[in-house]
Amino acid sequence: MTANLKECFRCRDNGFPNTMVGFRKIGEDATGKALWKPVQSDGKDHIHKTKENPNPQPQPEQESNGESREDKIERLALAKIEALNNIAKAIDKFAEVMRNKP
Protein backbone atom coordinates (compact mmCIF):
# COMPACT_ATOMS: atom_id res chain seq x y z
CA MET A 1 0.00 0.00 0.00
CA THR A 2 1.23 3.49 -0.76
CA ALA A 3 1.91 5.89 2.07
CA ASN A 4 0.65 9.43 2.45
CA LEU A 5 -0.12 11.34 -0.70
CA LYS A 6 1.97 14.41 -1.41
CA GLU A 7 1.73 17.17 -3.93
CA CYS A 8 3.96 16.37 -6.92
CA PHE A 9 6.46 19.22 -7.20
CA ARG A 10 7.35 18.36 -10.76
CA CYS A 11 3.74 18.58 -11.88
CA ARG A 12 3.34 21.79 -9.89
CA ASP A 13 6.39 23.27 -11.59
CA ASN A 14 4.85 22.32 -14.93
CA GLY A 15 1.74 24.31 -14.06
CA PHE A 16 -0.41 21.62 -12.45
CA PRO A 17 -0.65 22.24 -8.71
CA ASN A 18 -2.47 19.88 -6.33
CA THR A 19 -1.50 16.74 -8.24
CA MET A 20 -1.36 14.21 -5.44
CA VAL A 21 1.00 11.27 -5.65
CA GLY A 22 2.15 8.52 -3.36
CA PHE A 23 5.61 7.02 -3.29
CA ARG A 24 6.70 3.42 -3.46
CA LYS A 25 10.20 2.45 -2.38
CA ILE A 26 11.89 0.68 -5.28
CA GLY A 27 15.28 0.12 -3.69
CA GLU A 28 18.42 1.92 -2.63
CA ASP A 29 21.22 3.51 -4.56
CA ALA A 30 24.93 2.73 -4.03
CA THR A 31 25.10 5.09 -1.07
CA GLY A 32 22.16 3.44 0.68
CA LYS A 33 19.80 6.31 -0.07
CA ALA A 34 16.24 5.11 -0.60
CA LEU A 35 14.91 5.41 -4.13
CA TRP A 36 11.25 6.27 -4.48
CA LYS A 37 8.97 5.98 -7.43
CA PRO A 38 5.91 8.23 -7.69
CA VAL A 39 2.63 6.37 -7.98
CA GLN A 40 -0.92 7.60 -8.34
CA SER A 41 -3.62 7.06 -5.76
CA ASP A 42 -4.89 4.11 -7.84
CA GLY A 43 -1.47 2.45 -7.57
CA LYS A 44 -0.44 3.02 -11.18
CA ASP A 45 2.89 4.60 -12.06
CA HIS A 46 2.69 8.37 -11.93
CA ILE A 47 3.62 10.22 -15.10
CA HIS A 48 4.24 13.93 -14.66
CA LYS A 49 1.77 16.26 -16.27
CA THR A 50 3.09 18.71 -18.82
CA LYS A 51 1.49 21.39 -20.95
CA GLU A 52 1.88 19.08 -23.96
CA ASN A 53 0.34 16.15 -22.10
CA PRO A 54 -1.95 17.39 -19.30
CA ASN A 55 -3.59 14.00 -18.80
CA PRO A 56 -0.90 11.33 -19.25
CA GLN A 57 -1.95 7.70 -19.10
CA PRO A 58 0.38 5.14 -17.58
CA GLN A 59 1.80 2.82 -20.20
CA PRO A 60 0.66 -0.79 -20.13
CA GLU A 61 3.21 -3.01 -18.41
CA GLN A 62 4.36 -4.88 -21.51
CA GLU A 63 5.13 -1.63 -23.33
CA SER A 64 7.37 -0.27 -20.57
CA ASN A 65 10.34 -2.63 -20.92
CA GLY A 66 12.06 -0.49 -23.54
CA GLU A 67 11.32 -2.89 -26.36
CA SER A 68 10.46 -1.10 -29.58
CA ARG A 69 7.56 -2.17 -31.81
CA GLU A 70 10.02 -3.53 -34.38
CA ASP A 71 11.88 -5.54 -31.73
CA LYS A 72 8.61 -6.98 -30.51
CA ILE A 73 7.51 -8.00 -34.02
CA GLU A 74 10.91 -9.61 -34.63
CA ARG A 75 10.80 -11.44 -31.30
CA LEU A 76 7.30 -12.79 -32.02
CA ALA A 77 8.35 -13.81 -35.55
CA LEU A 78 11.39 -15.66 -34.18
CA ALA A 79 9.22 -17.40 -31.58
CA LYS A 80 6.86 -18.49 -34.36
CA ILE A 81 9.74 -19.80 -36.48
CA GLU A 82 11.09 -21.71 -33.49
CA ALA A 83 7.66 -23.21 -32.83
CA LEU A 84 7.39 -24.30 -36.49
CA ASN A 85 10.89 -25.81 -36.31
CA ASN A 86 9.88 -27.76 -33.22
CA ILE A 87 6.79 -29.09 -35.01
CA ALA A 88 8.91 -30.05 -38.01
CA LYS A 89 11.35 -31.88 -35.71
CA ALA A 90 8.47 -33.67 -34.01
CA ILE A 91 7.09 -34.79 -37.40
CA ASP A 92 10.57 -36.03 -38.44
CA LYS A 93 10.86 -37.94 -35.19
CA PHE A 94 7.41 -39.44 -35.64
CA ALA A 95 8.25 -40.47 -39.23
CA GLU A 96 11.48 -42.08 -38.01
CA VAL A 97 9.64 -44.04 -35.33
CA MET A 98 7.09 -45.24 -37.87
CA ARG A 99 9.84 -46.25 -40.31
CA ASN A 100 11.61 -48.29 -37.63
CA LYS A 101 8.47 -50.15 -36.63
CA PRO A 102 8.62 -53.82 -37.45
Would you tell me which residues interact with Zn ion (CB under 5 A)? Answer: 8, 10-11, 48
Q: How far is the CB of 8 from Zn ion (least distance, A)?
A: 3
Closest separation in Å from C-beta 40 to Zn ion:
9
Closest to Zn ion by CB, 17 or 76: 17
Closer Cβ to Zn ion, 11 or 39, answer by number: 11
- CA gap 14, 70 in Å, rounded: 33
* Residue whose CB is less far from Zn ion, 10 or 24: 10
Residue (6 or 89) nearer to Zn ion, CB: 6
CB of 51 to Zn ion, least distance (A): 13
Q: How far is the CB of 47 from Zn ion (least distance, A)?
A: 7
d(CA 59, CA 67): 13
